Structure 1
């Protein structure tokens, strides 16, 4: 049953459409159908909107009075009587968007800009313009700096000039062991950049970035985590390609396994990035780079199967879309990582240090090395900027390393 068929046969929709706010309900129903909501999602959203409009009338509010504050009050009222669902607020915010598109209610008021927001806005501009960071890299700094300011500057941004070297050192000593060594290095990197920014724009008289200690972490100390070719095939075979979700996940996993793409590179692919005539794909690579990758036959076949019998109808140009409405692209590569984790768990593969999309990248490099490819060729396939990044895979070729071993003193032990 299609969305339009459900609306035409829904008693709830007919009742609301014949009510005092029938025109608004019709507009909202059209929006649900356009976004591709299924039967249950449409019923749930219409039920919520009907309850909101009924509550607003009993509270002597007109539809023109609706806004985010009114929605908050209604959800508080509803939550006191029954359990709220995770999508309730999104359903009502969708109603506000429909009302604003038709000029029924005023545009949303911008959130008040605090001093902290101004600091972060300036810091983001500095990272983008002065340091040349990509937006995805800039976002990673925000939670680290917010936590730092809450502890070191509890009175607010006016205390920025009072930050001392001892404050910075004590903060790092408290939190360096919270997670892995890699997380501690990222924390120090963010703090160093922020303290450098404070001095650069005159918010602190000293350049405290030099007071941030370095976190020792041995580079390439561990072996890369990888799967065997049989395990990779088992993961691919675990996708139920009789369903739309299974065809999508199979195409994603095939790209990870056969091309060694990163999760973010898969998530940001668009329909326009695929050149079917030349058999190539244009990848939005790391560091704001653009790269060309060959469209291998099995990868192309998986994409075609998804496009023909799996991809929802949507105006979004992203290649891979959410299966649940609204049918839009993934917000980030985290969704691709979760698809990979679910596939690994479904295949019964466990006991590895990493359970995500990147393990397929390591697996491809390891398989290429064992097939006779040189490290230089592997670096080209994985688009590594430094040869040092590729050299880590030399450690997995145990048989080749045996030829480099010196004889044990005194004979074989």
Structure 2
């Protein structure tokens, strides 16, 4: 089997021509590697050019024993994309997954936090430490600007335009957008940036990165997840939350307070408004209120 060359070429295509993020490209790669492991385990020596629909159906059957429908659907979608690439490059004449349907997953609504729960999380931060000041600024930024965790850890000092009331965000596919930032979030970023960050021994290459670890180097996604999980446990919050929960809460609270979906879409950096529309399903009472307020036949 010679899958590595095809996988590397495919990942280059995703990076250069599709402009996808590093994390997305890695996830596509994991799906193909899972297929390769299945082939190796079952001693099926076949290239991506020759693999048949029947073999792929066997693989999906095995995957279905271990994964939930949502994960199965993601793997099938990822593999379809890989074989579409092989067809596009004339390595194959057909996509062997063309007729294989992904399982129905339904639409999972994201968890959200109330304003009180967000306040409780932030109040639980130990501000007697340098990391505490940083963590408060990070949570305020996640919730105040609706950022993805990858956008938070890559935020640069040169991306802060406080006089204009905006920060510049580099999102998925290296697409840039300007997001409004409120005075409270600015205040806590300034405290960290001016009182804490100068005391760090900043590593080469990280000079412009806003949020740093105690060794003056880049934060990882996993560190931000851990910080938020630990705070949730500290305040006895039963919800299963992550940095993305603060992003969902940002959008939901804007919607509940009368913001329109198009504005929320621009702030979140969603390619399609369909992605943003999931927030409409979170609060039916809000929609009912809109109907009664604005429809001519009340």
In structure 2, the residue corresponding to 1:247 is in which secondary structure?
A: helix
The whole-number CA distance in structure 2 between the counterparts of 1:201 and 1:223 is 38
The whole-number CA distance in structure 2 between the counterparts of 1:186 and 1:150 is 17
Aligned match for 1:273, one of 132, 139, 159: 159
Is 1:144 aligned to residue 31 of structure 2?
A: yes
| Corresponding residue for residue 296 of structure 1 | 182
Is 1:244 aligned to residue 244 of structure 2?
A: no
Q: How does 1:137-216 map to 2 (within 5 A)?
A: 137-153=24-40, 159-201=47-89, 203-204=91-92, 206-216=94-104
CA distance 1:308–1:403, shift in 2 (3 Å)? closer
The whole-number CA distance in structure 1 between the counterparts of 2:235 and 2:253 is 20
| Corresponding residue for residue 279 of structure 2 | 393
- The question of whether the paired residues in 1 share the 8 Å contact of 2:155 and 2:211 is answered with yes
Tell me the CA shift for residue 138 of structure 1. Answer: 1.0
The more displaced of 250-259 and 193-202 is 193-202
Aligned match for 2:247, one of 340, 355, 361: 361
In structure 2, the residue corresponding to 1:282 is in which secondary structure?
A: strand
| Corresponding residue for residue 328 of structure 1 | 217
The whole-number CA distance in structure 1 between the counterparts of 2:259 and 2:159 is 28
The whole-number CA distance in structure 1 between the counterparts of 2:91 and 2:71 is 27
Tell me the CA shift for residue 200 of structure 1. Answer: 4.2
The more displaced of 200-209 and 367-376 is 200-209
Structure label with greater radius of gyration: 1
Structure 1: tracts of 5 or more residues without a match = 1-113, 406-413
| Corresponding residue for residue 86 of structure 1 | none
CA distance 1:175–1:321, shift in 2 (3 Å)? same
- Greater relative contact order: 1 or 2 (C-alpha under 8 angstroms, separation 6 or more)? 2
- The question of whether the paired residues in 1 share the 8 Å contact of 2:121 and 2:231 is answered with yes
Aligned match for 1:337, one of 202, 209, 225: 225
| Corresponding residue for residue 296 of structure 2 | none
Is 1:122 aligned to residue 13 of structure 2?
A: no
The whole-number CA distance in structure 2 between the counterparts of 1:284 and 1:136 is 14
- The question of whether the paired residues in 1 share the 8 Å contact of 2:252 and 2:279 is answered with yes
Tell me the CA shift for residue 255 of structure 1. Answer: 0.6
In structure 1, the residue corresponding to 2:83 is in which secondary structure?
A: helix
Tell me the CA shift for residue 303 of structure 1. Answer: 1.2
Q: How does 1:2-21 map to 2 (within 5 A)?
A: none
What TM-score, normalized by structure 1, do the two folds share? 0.62
What TM-score, normalized by structure 2, do the two folds share? 0.84
In structure 2, the residue corresponding to 1:283 is in which secondary structure?
A: strand
The whole-number CA distance in structure 1 between the counterparts of 2:282 and 2:95 is 43
Structure 2: tracts of 5 or more residues without a match = 292-298
- The question of whether the paired residues in 2 share the 8 Å contact of 1:153 and 1:160 is answered with no
- The question of whether the paired residues in 2 share the 8 Å contact of 1:153 and 1:159 is answered with no
The whole-number CA distance in structure 2 between the counterparts of 1:139 and 1:248 is 29
CA distance 1:278–1:347, shift in 2 (3 Å)? same
- The question of whether the paired residues in 2 share the 8 Å contact of 1:341 and 1:357 is answered with no
- The question of whether the paired residues in 1 share the 8 Å contact of 2:142 and 2:247 is answered with yes
Cα root mean square deviation, aligned: 2.7
